[in-house]
C-alpha cells in the first residue's frame, strides 16, 4: 500500500478512536477500569477473555475455569485412527495470562447474582463485575435414557463427547473388539454440539476397522430423519469407502440402554453391539439454569446477536454451545470463537460509550475427516438482519466441499492449530 493511503487511513482511524480509547480505560464507576468476569475457558470464553484484553485497553478481565488446561474437542476423533493424542489436543492458559494480562482463576462458578452483579465461586470467593460473560458449555442429558441416568451405572457405555479420558477409552474398546464385531453409535436429535462430529466419528471408526478388522460393522443409529450435516458427502463416503462396513439407520431414537449386554433399545428394535457409543441429548450447562438464563425448550439461552447479552438478564452475555442459535448456526468451536469476538467488541463499546457495531458478520467452518488423511468442509457466513434480529446466511456465500481431499486434510490441521492460537495464544 502506498504511503499516502496508509497515512490517510491512520488519520481517519485515529480521529475516530481518539475520543473513545481513554474512555475504555476508565470506564466503570468513577474512572475505575471496567471489570469483566468470564465463566468458562472453552473456545467461547477463552476467546472472549483474550479479545477483551487485546482490543479493550484497560478492561480488567478475570477468567474462571475449573480445569488446569484446555483440551480441544475438534480433532479428538483423530485419536481413534492414531493421528493425534490427548497431549496434542491439550493447551495451557499461560499465554492468556502472560501475553494478554487475563487473570485466570482455577475455580468453579457456582452462582450468579444478577442483581448485585456478582459471581460466587466454589471456593467461597465472590467476584463483582460490570459485565459477565457466561460460556458454560453443555451438559449431557441422560434423563431420557433410564439405564444411563446414574453415572455409576453407565459401565463401559461411553459418550466421548466431552474431551478427555473417554476418547482414549473408546479407542481401547475398538482395539479390544473382535473382527466381525459391531460398533454402534447413537446420535441425538439436533441441535447438539458439533453437527457433523458423530458422522465423522463413524468414518474414523470405519477406517480403523477397514484396516484392522474388515469383517466388522459400524452401525449409525440416528434419532434424526436424515444426516444432520454434509449429508450427500457423508453418504457418498460411506458408500464409496466403507460399503460393507457402514450402515446408516435414520429415525432411530434411543429410548433405553441395557448396559450389561450393550444393547441399544430403539422404539421398535433392540440392537446389541460389541462397542456401544451413546452420544446423549444435550442442554446448556446447569449454571445457565441456576442463573435464570434458559429461555428456550428448557435447554438453551436466548441472546441478542449484536452483543450476546442474555434476552432476560442485563449485563450477562452468553456464548458458545449454550445459546439458542440462529437457524443454520451450528454449535461449533469456530462459531464460539466468532461469537466471542463480536461479544468482546460489543462489551468494549458498551463500557466506553461507543456505538455497538450494528452489522456484525460471523462465519463457520467445520472440517470433517472421512479417512485418516482426507477431509471436507461445510462453511457459512452470516450477517445480522435487523428486522428478524437474527444472523442470516449471506446469499451466495458458503457451501460444501465438492469432495474430500488430502489438501483439505492438511488445511483442517492448519485450521486447528490457528484456532487454538486465536483462542488461547
In the complex, the residues that contact another protein under the rule CB under 8 A are 1-2, 4-6, 8-9, 12-13, 16-17, 20, 51, 54-55, 334, 337-338, 341-342, 345, 354-355, 357-363, 365, 377, 379-381, 383, 394, 396-399, 401, 405, 407-408, 410-411, 413-419, 421-422, 425
CB of 400 to ligand HEC, least distance (A): 12
Q: Is 166 in the site for ligand HEC (CB under 6 A)?
A: no
Residues 35-94 that bind ligand HEC (CB under 6 A): none
CA distance 13 to 193: 39
CB of 138 to another protein, least distance (A): 20
Residues 326-385 that bind ligand HEC (CB under 6 A): 363, 365
Q: Which three cell numbers stand for residue 57?
A: 485497553
Residue choice 256, 411, 422, 425 for contact with ligand HEC (CB under 6 A): 411
Q: Which is nearer to another protein, 251 or 397 (CB)?
A: 397
Cβ contacts of 11 within 8 Å, gap of 6 or more: none
Q: Which is nearer to ligand HEC, 65 or 413 (CB)?
A: 413
Q: Which three cell numbers stand for residue 5?
A: 493511503
Q: Is 390 in the site for ligand HEC (CB under 6 A)?
A: no
CB of 40 to another protein, least distance (A): 18
Widest distance between CA atoms in the chain: 74
- With cell 428456550, the residue in question is 296
**Residue 93 CA: distances (Å) to CA of 67, 161, 187, 425:** 10, 22, 32, 8
What is the SS3 assignment for 312?
coil
Tell me if 167 sits within 8 A of 76, measured CB to CB. yes
Phi, psi angles (nearest 5°) of residue 287:
-55, -35
Q: Is the peptide bond before 191 cis (omega within 30 degrees of 0)?
A: yes
Question: Choosing among another protein, ligand HEC, none, which partner's interface includes residue 419 (Cβ < 5 to 8 Å by kind)?
Answer: another protein
Q: Is 405 in the site for ligand HEC (CB under 6 A)?
A: no
CA distance 255 to 268: 10
Question: Choosing among another protein, ligand HEC, none, which partner's interface includes residue 398 (Cβ < 5 to 8 Å by kind)?
Answer: another protein
Q: Which three cell numbers stand for residue 95?
A: 499465554
Q: Is 415 in the site for ligand HEC (CB under 6 A)?
A: yes
User: What are the residues binding ligand HEC (CB under 6 A)?
Assistant: 363, 365, 411, 415
Amino acid at each position: 500500500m502506498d504511503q499516502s493511503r496508509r497515512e490517510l487511513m491512520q488519520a481517519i482511524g485515529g480521529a475516530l478512536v481518539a475520543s473513545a480509547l481513554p474512555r475504555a480505560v476508565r470506564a466503570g464507576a468513577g474512572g475505575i477500569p471496567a471489570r469483566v468476569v468470564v465463566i468458562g475457558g472453552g473456545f467461547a470464553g477463552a476467546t472472549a477473555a483474550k479479545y477483551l484484553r487485546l482490543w479493550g485497553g484497560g478492561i480488567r478481565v478475570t477468567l474462571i475455569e475449573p480445569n488446569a488446561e484446555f483440551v480441544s474437542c475438534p480433532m479428538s476423533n483423530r485419536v481413534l485412527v492414531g493421528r493425534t493424542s490427548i497431549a496434542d489436543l491439550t493447551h495451557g492458559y499461560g499465554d492468556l495470562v502472560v501475553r494478554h494480562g487475563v487473570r485466570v482463576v482455577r475455580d468453579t462458578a457456582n452462582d450468579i447474582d444478577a442483581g448485585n452483579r456478582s459471581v460466587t465461586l466454589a471456593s467461597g470467593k465472590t467476584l463483582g463485575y460490570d459485565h459477565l460473560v457466561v460460556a458454560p458449555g453443555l451438559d449431557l442429558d441422560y434423563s431420557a435414557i433410564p439405564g444411563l441416568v446414574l453415572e455409576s451405572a453407565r459401565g463401559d457405555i461411553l459418550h466421548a463427547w466431552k474431551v478427555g479420558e473417554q476418547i482414549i477409552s473408546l479407542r481401547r474398546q475398538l482395539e479390544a473388539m473382535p473382527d466381525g464385531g459391531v460398533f454402534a453409535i447413537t446420535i441425538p436429535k439436533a441441535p447438539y454440539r458439533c453437527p457433523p462430529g458423530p458422522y465423522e466419528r463413524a468414518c474414523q471408526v470405519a477406517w480403523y476397522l477397514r484396516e484392522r478388522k474388515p469383517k466388522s460393522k459400524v452401525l449409525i443409529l440416528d434419532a434424526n430423519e436424515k444426516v444432520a450435516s454434509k449429508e450427500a458427502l457423508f453418504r457418498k463416503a460411506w458408500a464409496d469407502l466403507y460399503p460393507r462396513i457402514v450402515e446408516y439407520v435414520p429415525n432411530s431414537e434411543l429410548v433405553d440402554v441395557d448396559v450389561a449386554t450393550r444393547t441399544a433399545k430403539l422404539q421398535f428394535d433392540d440392537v446389541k453391539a460389541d462397542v456401544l457409543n451413546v452420544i446423549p441429548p444435550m442442554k446448556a450447562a446447569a449454571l445457565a439454569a441456576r442463573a435464570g438464563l434458559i429461555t428456550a425448550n428448557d435447554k438453551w439461552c436466548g441472546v441478542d446477536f449484536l452483543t450476546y447479552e442474555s434476552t432476560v438478564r442485563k449485563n450477562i452475555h452468553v456464548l458458545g454451545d449454550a445459546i439458542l442459535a440462529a437457524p443454520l448456526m451450528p454449535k461449533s468451536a469456530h462459531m464460539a470463537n466468532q461469537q466471542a469476538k463480536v461479544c468482546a467488541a460489543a462489551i468494549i463499546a458498551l463500557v466506553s460509550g461507543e456505538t455497538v457495531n450494528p452489522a456484525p458478520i460471523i462465519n463457520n467452518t467445520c472440517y470433517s475427516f472421512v479417512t485418516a488423511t482426507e477431509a471436507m468442509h461445510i462453511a457459512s457466513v452470516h450477517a445480522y438482519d435487523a428486522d428478524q434480529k437474527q444472523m442470516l446466511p449471506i446469499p451466495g456465500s458458503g457451501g460444501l466441499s465438492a469432495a474430500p481431499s488430502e489438501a483439505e486434510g492438511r488445511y483442517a490441521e492448519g485450521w486447528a492449530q490457528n484456532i487454538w492460537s486465536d483462542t488461547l495464544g
